[in-house]
Amino acid sequence: MNQFVLFTLYLRDPPPLSDLIYPQPPLIGNSPSEESEEREKEPRTLTYPAYIASLLDTGAKRMAAGVRMDCNSQGQCPRSCHLCHMSPRTSQGRQQSEPVLLQITKAAPIYELVSNNETYQSLQEAMMSMLWCSGKGDVIDDWCRCDSSAFGTDGLPTCAPLPQPLLKLSYTYEPSSSLVIMEWNHTEPPIGVRIVDYLISQEKVTERTDHSKVETETLLSFVDDILSGARSPCVMLGDIPDLLSSSISMIIRCLEPDTTYMFRLWAVDNTGRRSSPSEVTIKTPCPTVDDVKAQEIADKIYNLFNGYTSGKEQQTAYNTLMDLGAPTLHRVLYHYNQRYESFGEFTWRCEDELGPRKAGLILSQLDELNPWCKGLLQEQKIGLRRMSLKFLSCRYTDTKAFGLNWSHMGQDVHKACDEQTLTVMYNDYGEPKEL
């Protein structure tokens, strides 16, 4: 990397611009008569800025490489200023002279200015310190040895800044009602910091107006808990770094529908220091329902309620409806009333066939959903879309046994992990839109 220093020369008290003239030299070999005629003529003059410009245009040898000259007028001297040099022309009523500022700038590499090896080495160490150690330590091999003043209250060095990872939702897979995919890129500077682990926090937010209030918190180590397969039943590996990509993705399962979660990510270096956290807050979609199955259950309940209902049929209907859950029960109620309301509305038939107590236990599930999800479940058509998602199922592995090399991690992980496929379901509400 070439570093340059600019040297600027200012002429702060130059002669007036009109006085800076360069007579054209006489031609060599002229006869006496020609010389006398030349003297009688008005001499050809060249202003100083024009002279400088001609040097730049013609590329004269006297101009050194990398030198830039610039002439700027500095305005006229006021008559009241006794410090200004007045040209004789001023006293004759002619236009007052203008001072000119000549600025000469030359760019030169720093290493050309160093005259000995000691100075060169000191300059190199100072620049390395500023580049990688914030000017508060020395570069030793690929790490920073911090000065005594560059330690935090926790006793950890602070001269080498720890990069903050950027946690984000996957652009490829949308969140489902029970699953999200989080991504980030593994990046670390070549000198000063070595990231050895990431910490992932999952928090369930209970207060909608204040995301700082959380109900539960789970903190996992990427290396010890996820990569090793030690204790991560609800967190699985997606993408891992290799020679072509630095992307890391995690599949987080076991989430509750229609619930707000906050995820945080920290990078951890070899001194145990944590970076600033990167946060993502997301609310999972409404619960997923199988609308075809809901229609079949609505037909089944109608057949059980139709005609004389025995005790066995009543118990079958009760057990079936209690096991559905709120989302599917809403769709069963919707399809039952759409098809069989002429034989009695669903809630009335439940009370008539099962009794008020059992019917009350069943219908109380309908209030478990918020108004938004209830409104979606009233759509005439709800499609079910399935998507296959690949993940790595890892057996317990001691990652410290083979060391941690982020760029070659893929080779080591595939030896201890099996690639499997997970089916994720999504709902599409309403009639499909034509593109």
- 68 in Cβ contact with 102 (< 8 Å): no
Percentage helix, strand, coil for the chain under 3-state DSSP, each rounded to 5:
30, 25, 40
In this prediction, residue 143 carries a pLDDT of 81
In this prediction, residue 100 carries a pLDDT of 64
- The chain-wide mean pLDDT, for the chain, equals 76
> Which of 280 and 93 is assigned the larger pLDDT?
280
Reported as a pLDDT band with limits 50, 70 and 90, residue 14 is very low
- 68 in Cβ contact with 106 (< 8 Å): yes
CA distance 213 to 119: 58
Query: Tokens at residue 385, please?
Result: 């879309």
Query: Tokens at residue 2, please?
Result: 């070439």
pLDDT digits (tens, 9 = 90+) for 187-237: 888 888 888 889 999 998 876 555 555 556 788 888 888 877 655 678 888
Beta bridge partners of residue 388, listed in sequence order: 423
Reported as a pLDDT band with limits 50, 70 and 90, residue 157 is confident
Tell me how many degrees the CA angle 9-12-17 measures, rounded to the nearest 5: 105
> Which of 77 and 328 is assigned the larger pLDDT?
328
pLDDT digits (tens, 9 = 90+) for 89-147: 555 555 555 666 667 676 666 666 666 677 778 878 888 888 888 888 888 888 888 88
Q: How many residues make up the chain in this entry?
A: 435
pLDDT digits (tens, 9 = 90+) for 296-339: 999 999 998 887 778 888 899 999 999 999 999 999 999 999 99
Residue 271 has pLDDT above 90, yes or no: no
pLDDT digits (tens, 9 = 90+) for 348-364: 999 988 899 999 999 99
CA distance 12 to 80: 20
> Which of 7 and 110 is assigned the larger pLDDT?
110
Q: Mark 178-209 as b/e (b = at least 16 C-beta within 10 Å).
A: bbbbbbbebebbebbbbbebbbbbbbebeeee
By CB atoms closer than 10 A (0-12, 13-18, 19+), residue 104 is middle
Residues above pLDDT 70, as percent of the chain = 64
Q: In sequence order, what DSSP letters do the residues of 242-306 get, joined into one string? A: -SS--EEEEEE--PPTT-EEEEEEEEEETTS-B---EEEEEE--PPP--HHHHHHHHHHHHHHHS
> Which of 370 and 34 is assigned the larger pLDDT?
370
For 259, 299, 327, 361, the CA distances from 367, given in Å and listed in that order, are: 16, 23, 10, 11
CA distance 380 to 337: 12
In this prediction, residue 402 carries a pLDDT of 47
> Which of 96 and 373 is assigned the larger pLDDT?
373
What is the value of pTM for the model shown?
Answer: 0.66
